[in-house]
């Protein structure tokens, strides 16, 4: 088993987020869990995801848009040695450009 990490999960329906400690190998991390708030699907967005406030509809719309285009908030590393990390967009408009520019890094579903 690998070192346990707190992974961030978020529900796109009720805008709830929560963390779960996972004592699994990364290849065994669940892609989703049941949302403890509404019973819907809570998606695994990794260790570095910071959920917007529940009331911030514009930011949740951006999260949903990125999710629908295959971005699960994993780090995107570019450059020589892959040390440069691409920041995720701050707005929905920026997200629209982001999904085009970084589509090769999207998760295939």
> Lowest mean pLDDT: which of 29-33, 79-83, 96-100?
79-83
SS3 at position 58:
helix
End-to-end CA distance of the chain: 26
Per-residue confidence (pLDDT) for residue 96, from 0 to 100: 98
Average of pLDDT values for 73-77? 91
Q: Name the residue with higher pLDDT: 8 or 82.
A: 8
Instruction: Give 15-72 pLDDT, tens digit per residue.
Output: 999 999 988 887 888 999 999 999 999 999 999 899 999 999 999 999 999 999 999 9
SS3 at position 83:
coil
> pTM for the whole thing?
0.89
Edge to edge, what strands does the sheet with 32-34 contain? 17-22, 5-11, 41-46, 32-34
């Amino acid at each position: 088993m690998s070192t346990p990490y707190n992974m961030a999960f978020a529900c796109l329906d009720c805008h709830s987020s929560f963390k779960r400690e996972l004592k699994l190998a990364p290849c065994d991390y669940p892609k989703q869990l049941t949302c403890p708030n509404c019973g819907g699907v809570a998606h695994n967005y990794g260790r570095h995801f910071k959920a917007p406030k529940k009331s911030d509809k514009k930011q949740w719309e951006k999260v949903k848009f990125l999710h629908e285009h295959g971005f699960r908030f994993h780090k995107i590393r570019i450059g020589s040695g892959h040390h440069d990390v691409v920041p995720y967009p701050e707005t929905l408009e920026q997200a629209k450009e982001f999904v085009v520019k970084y589509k090769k890094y999207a998760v295939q579903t």
